[in-house]
Amino acid sequence: MITSFEDIVKTRPPWSTILVWYLRAMAILLIGGGVIHWARIVGMVPWRGQWFWDMPVEWQAATVFFAVLDLVAATGLWLAVSWGTVMWLFRAISQIVMHSLFSDVFGRRPYEIAFYLLTIGIYLLIVYLMERENRKT
């Protein structure tokens, strides 16, 4: 029976299992994002009040780019393979660059940038803890 915080720490799963859970949680978010992007492309929902065919070309390109990349990265993350993590990090960094360096075109979205930086930071922390745990055994 768990009676203290120490009991929780002692009975937690290995960090490698926590990493797989984290990557799968990110995969679910990316699947949702990919479906939303595809819904915009096929004309089911507008984005910022504009339908896909009325968007500027750079918005259309970004929508198609993330529609494909989100689902590819989600597949890799769900399978917990290395290329999935690379695709997810590439996607997150692309969003950060898009909303910071090209904010005049795509708009400034500080909460989205903070979210991506936070998720990358959590990922790096879990990987560090997993590697530290693996060195002890």
CB neighbourhood size of 22 (10 A): 19
- What 8-state DSSP symbol labels residue 53? G
Lowest-confidence region among 7-16, 84-93, 126-135: 7-16
Q: How far apart are CA 122 and CA 34, in angstroms?
A: 22
From first CA to last CA, the distance across the chain in angstroms is 26
pLDDT averaged over every residue in the chain: 92
In this predicted structure, the answer to whether residue 107 has a pLDDT above a threshold of 90 is no
19-73, pLDDT tens digit by residue? Answer: 999 999 999 999 999 999 999 999 999 988 899 999 999 999 999 999 999 999 9
